[in-house]
């Protein structure tokens, strides 16, 4: 569980609310539901920078800006505060946390789906104090998870009330938030004390530690990529580890044994640093293990994954385990798309299958996933899925959950790695955080500021040294670089960019100097990439599944799978890209694949509503008819063919479509929904009429 450092140490103001809001939902829910299954054991990775902010908020040492906007009486909000609330208080999962509540959805409809400052300013007179009070309340109320409602029944009562909230009711919701924040650390400490959990740590401000040690390490896994000026501060990497261990020991009464290096990022040079900091083992991704074995000239057998390892470098050694990627990612990305019992059963079935393949006792299936972001996608916050999974684990005879510490104590590693690969859990490289223009510029600014501070340290007091170094350590965090570049985007891109540069500016301020003007210039670009490209003309491609010649699909619309990635990453997709087109009679769809598997393609239509078109589970070489289902029943319509690619076509009359269609494409594997494209909104496609067909005619 992790959040970057949102606090401006100068003003003592947290510029974003995600520490508090994730606490009242994911952090509270995960540790609380575990208590109902006493035989289940888990590891919780609590990043120090997250726990620092929880402490600061609980003690009143910092203020949460969005909480201050929420607390202020609605009738007393000034213009800038009202605009800020209209901009930010709809930043929530709309399908699960906003649309189920009619008043909240009504307020979104009043503002509109996007925020445009001047338009909002012109329409402020349309918003009453009651509108703002209801919006202040709903944003904070909707974030409260299933455990919060059980602990504080008045939350459910307020959700049922729905509107006309009083100032007292609003403040009660906010007071509950702070009560929950104060419970988080003790709840996790209690889970460890009773033996149900092991608490792990991460380098303090969640840096990509190999890049802090030396950005030239990127050449090992990303040869030939553009890189920033060399950032090489091994002492910072060690400091990030030691600060993490010190804080964890103070908060939980014992030093952490395990480390989740930020984003599973490892390099052999980190092994001596881990040992010096007192870390006994680290966790990373299976691809880093397999690449390490290949570097040693060994065959990377997948079954080697299911055990502990010894890692040696520079005269030091630590233990390690490596995550099983597909099942871990299934929880994070796809479980919410399926019924809880079906998703849990999918995992349990695969666990049993792995047992059958191994045929040995004392083997480990490491399931490691992002702990807070995925639960927003579940309609019930993940409660039913977690309960089904935990109950299934408790009932299993052959499977036993355990903490990593317990496993490594019972089963010391008998295999050793001396050629550790440098990479993260994402594609086994560091591409997300370095190599693109924005990312490299951020590293250059960080490097310039770090070098400046090094020259100033001797003249600073110990307190100033500590404060300035903390600003550098905060800027070394991975989160800023995650959002730079083309890989990911969020509604808060501008805020993240401002915070990163603010940490660097604070270094100069603490040294008594004015920050260079370069730090006032935003790093992020202002252009936003389109979700998909639209068709440029009518097409009638022949459906045969063969590799296309140029004109067959030239001018089609295109959606690139994975282009909507936000705070989480996945890399095990079947689909690489979707192309789509139509003529007056038919819709055509083409799937370019990353890999083959016996999967099923389902096209879900939003217009016409309640229409599905799907093929049977297919493999390479298959062809046949599609099935169309609507409120009247099912019938065969259209066709598909699978060879080098998969192509489909469906007559518009069989869909009941007249002027336009809106659709998403889903991939099912073994009856489980694995992928959905586009993820956030359907593709919209106008059906050409005779005039449009003539206008688009080409030779």
pLDDT tens digit sequence for 453-501: 999 999 999 999 999 999 999 999 999 999 898 877 777 788 889 999 9
| Beta-sheet strand order (sheet of 13-14) | 7-8, 13-14, 63-64
Q: What is the pLDDT of residue 446?
A: 98
User: Quick one: which H or E segment has residue 600?
Assistant: strand 599-607
8 A C-beta contact, residue 665 and residue 677: yes
Q: Two tokens at 3?
A: 């959040």
Helices within 60-193 (DSSP H only)? 65-71, 79-88, 102-111, 117-122, 129-142, 146-151, 154-161, 167-193
3-state secondary structure of 34: helix
Bridge partners, residue 64, by sequence: 14
Q: What is the pLDDT of residue 678?
A: 87
For the chain, state the CA radius of gyration.
27
Flag whether pLDDT at 696 surpasses 50: no
Cα 601 → chain centroid = 25
More confident residue, 133 or 568: 133
pLDDT over 70, % of the chain? 96
Strand 197-200 with 42-45, pairing: parallel
8 A C-beta contact, residue 215 and residue 231: yes
Q: How far apart are CA 474 and CA 496, in angstroms?
A: 12
Q: How far apart are CA 465 and CA 454, in angstroms?
A: 10
Q: Of 389, 335, 327, whose CA–CA distance to 353 is shortest?
A: 327
User: What pLDDT, in 10s, does the model give residues 6-30?
Assistant: 998 778 999 999 999 999 999 999 9
Widest pairwise Cα distance in the chain = 80
Site of tokens 């329409």: 123
Query: First vs last Cα of the chain: how many Å apart?
Result: 57
More confident residue, 563 or 342: 342
Instruction: Tell me which fold the domain 437-520 belongs to.
Output: immunoglobulin/albumin-binding domain-like (1.20.1430)
The residues, any chain, with a CB within 8 Å of residue 447's CB and separated by 6 or more, are: 228, 229, 230, 231
Bridge partners, residue 197, by sequence: 42
Q: What is the pLDDT of residue 611?
A: 87
Q: Two tokens at 275?
A: 């040992």
Tell me the average pLDDT of the chain.
92
Flag whether pLDDT at 698 surpasses 50: no
- Residue 179 has φ and ψ, to the nearest 5°, of -65, -40
Q: Two tokens at 692?
A: 């449009």
Q: How far apart are CA 464 and CA 10, in angstroms?
A: 12
User: Quick one: which H or E segment has residue 318?
Assistant: strand 316-323
* CA-to-CA separations, 33 to 44, 176, 189, 251, in angstroms, rounded: 13, 19, 15, 22
Identical fold between 437-520 and 550-695: no
Q: Of 283, 267, 274, whose CA–CA distance to 318 is shortest?
A: 274
Site of tokens 């597909």: 326
pLDDT over 90, % of the chain? 77
User: What pLDDT, in 10s, does the model give residues 509-556?
Assistant: 999 999 998 898 899 874 444 678 889 888 899 999 987 765 688 889
User: What pLDDT, in 10s, does the model give residues 298-312?
Assistant: 988 899 999 999 999
Give the chain's count of helices (H) and strands (E): 27, 21
Q: Two tokens at 506?
A: 């604070």
Flag whether pLDDT at 568 surpasses 80: no
Peptide bond preceding 228 in cis form (omega within 30 of 0): no
User: Quick one: which H or E segment has residue 683?
Assistant: strand 683-686
Stretch 60-76: mean pLDDT = 97
Peptide bond preceding 79 in cis form (omega within 30 of 0): no
Q: How far apart are CA 252 and CA 380, in angstroms?
A: 30
User: Quick one: which H or E segment has residue 619?
Assistant: none
Q: Backbone dihedral region of 428: left (phi > 0), alpha (psi from -120 to 50 degrees) or beta? A: left
Q: How far apart are CA 376 and CA 369, in angstroms?
A: 14
Domain locations in the chain? 7-193, 198-324+412-417, 327-401, 437-520, 550-695
**Count of residues in the chain:** 699
Q: Two tokens at 637?
A: 């319509």
- Residue 317 has φ and ψ, to the nearest 5°, of -150, 150
Q: How far apart are CA 488 and CA 436, in angstroms?
A: 12
Q: How far apart are CA 376 and CA 389, in angstroms?
A: 18
Q: What is the pLDDT of residue 699?
A: 34
Q: How far apart are CA 683 and CA 533, in angstroms?
A: 10
- What does CATH list as the number for 550-695? 2.60.40
Q: What is the pLDDT of residue 11?
A: 84
8 A C-beta contact, residue 470 and residue 495: no
* CA-to-CA separations, 684 to 240, 446, 596, 619, in angstroms, rounded: 48, 43, 27, 28
Torsion sign across C-alpha atoms 370, 376, 378, 381: positive
Tally the C-alpha atoms within 13 A of residue 108's C-alpha that lie toward its C-beta.
21
Q: What is the pLDDT of residue 694?
A: 36
């Amino acid at each position: 569980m992790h959040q970057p450092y949102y606090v401006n140490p100068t003003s003592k103001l947290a510029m974003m609310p995600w520490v508090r809001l994730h606490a009242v939902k994911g952090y509270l829910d995960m540790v609380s539901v575990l208590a109902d299954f006493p035989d289940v054991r888990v590891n919780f990775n609590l990043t120090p920078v997250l726990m620092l902010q929880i402490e600061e908020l609980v003690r009143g040492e910092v203020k949460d800006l969005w909480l201050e906007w929420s607390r202020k009486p609605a009738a007393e909000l000034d213009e800038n505060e009202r605009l800020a609330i209209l901009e930010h208080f709809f930043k929530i999962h709309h399908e699960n946390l906003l649309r189920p509540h009619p008043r909240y959805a009504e307020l979104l409809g009043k503002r509109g789906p996007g925020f445009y400052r001047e338009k909002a300013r012109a329409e402020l007179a349309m918003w009453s104090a009651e509108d703002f009070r209801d919006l202040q309340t709903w944003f904070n109320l909707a974030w409260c998870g299933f455990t919060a409602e059980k602990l504080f029944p008045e939350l459910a009562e307020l959700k049922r009330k729905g509107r006309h909230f009083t100032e007292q009711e609003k403040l009660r919701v906010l007071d509950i938030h702070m009560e929950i924040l104060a419970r988080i650390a003790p709840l996790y400490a209690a889970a460890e004390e009773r033996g149900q959990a092991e608490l792990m740590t991460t380098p303090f401000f969640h840096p990509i530690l190999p890049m802090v040690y030396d950005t030239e390490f990127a050449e090992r896994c990303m040869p030939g990529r553009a890189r920033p000026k060399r950032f090489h501060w091994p002492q910072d990497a060690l400091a990030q580890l030691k600060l993490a261990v010190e804080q964890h020991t103070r908060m939980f009464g014992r030093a952490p044994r395990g480390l989740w290096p930020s984003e599973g990022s490892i390099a052999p040079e980190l092994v001596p640093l881990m040992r010096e900091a007192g870390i006994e083992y680290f966790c990373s991704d299976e691809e880093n293990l397999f690449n390490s074995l290949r570097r040693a000239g060994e065959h990377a057998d997948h079954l080697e994954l299911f055990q502990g390892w010894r890692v040696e470098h520079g005269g030091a050694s630590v233990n390690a385990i490596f995550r099983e990627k597909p099942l871990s990612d299934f929880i994070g990305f796809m479980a919410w798309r399926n019924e809880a019992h079906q998703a849990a059963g999918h995992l349990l079935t695969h666990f049993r299958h792995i047992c059958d393949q191994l045929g040995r006792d004392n083997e480990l299936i490491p399931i490691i996933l992002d702990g807070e972001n995925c639960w927003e996608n579940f309609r019930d916050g993940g409660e039913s899925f977690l309960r089904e999974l935990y109950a299934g684990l408790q009932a299993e005879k052959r499977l036993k959950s355990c903490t990593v510490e317990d496993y490594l104590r019972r089963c010391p590693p008998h295999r050793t790695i001396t050629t550790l690969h440098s990479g993260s859990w994402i594609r086994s490289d560091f591409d997300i955080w370095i190599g693109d223009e924005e990312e490299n510029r951020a590293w250059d600014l960080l490097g310039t500021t770090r070098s400046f501070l090094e020259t100033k340290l001797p003249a600073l007091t110990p307190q100033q040294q500590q404060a300035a170094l903390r600003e550098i350590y905060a800027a070394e965090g991975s989160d800023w670089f995650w959002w730079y570049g083309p890989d990911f985007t969020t509604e808060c891109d501008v805020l993240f960019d401002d915070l990163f540069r603010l940490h660097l500016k604070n270094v100069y301020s603490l040294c008594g100097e004015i920050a260079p003007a370069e730090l006032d210039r935003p790093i992020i670009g202002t252009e936003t990439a389109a979700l998909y490209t639209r068709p440029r003309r009518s097409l009638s491609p022949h459906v045969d599944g063969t590799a296309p010649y140029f004109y067959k699909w030239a001018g089609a619309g295109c959606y690139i799978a994975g282009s909507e990635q936000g705070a989480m990453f996945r890399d095990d997709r079947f689909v690489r890209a979707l192309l789509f087109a139509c003529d007056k009679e038919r819709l055509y769809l083409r799937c370019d694949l990353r890999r083959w598997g016996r999967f099923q393609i389902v096209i879900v239509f939003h217009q016409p509503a309640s229409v599905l078109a799907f093929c049977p589970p297919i493999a390479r070489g298959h062809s046949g008819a599609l099935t169309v289902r609507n409120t009247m029943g099912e019938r065969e319509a259209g066709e598909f063919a699978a060879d080098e690619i998969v192509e489909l076509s469906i007559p518009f009359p069989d869909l009941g479509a007249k002027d336009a269609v809106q659709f998403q494409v889903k991939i099912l594997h073994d009856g489980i929904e694995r992928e959905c494209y586009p993820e956030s909104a359907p593709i919209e496609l106008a059906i050409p009429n005779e005039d449009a067909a003539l206008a688009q005619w080409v030779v």
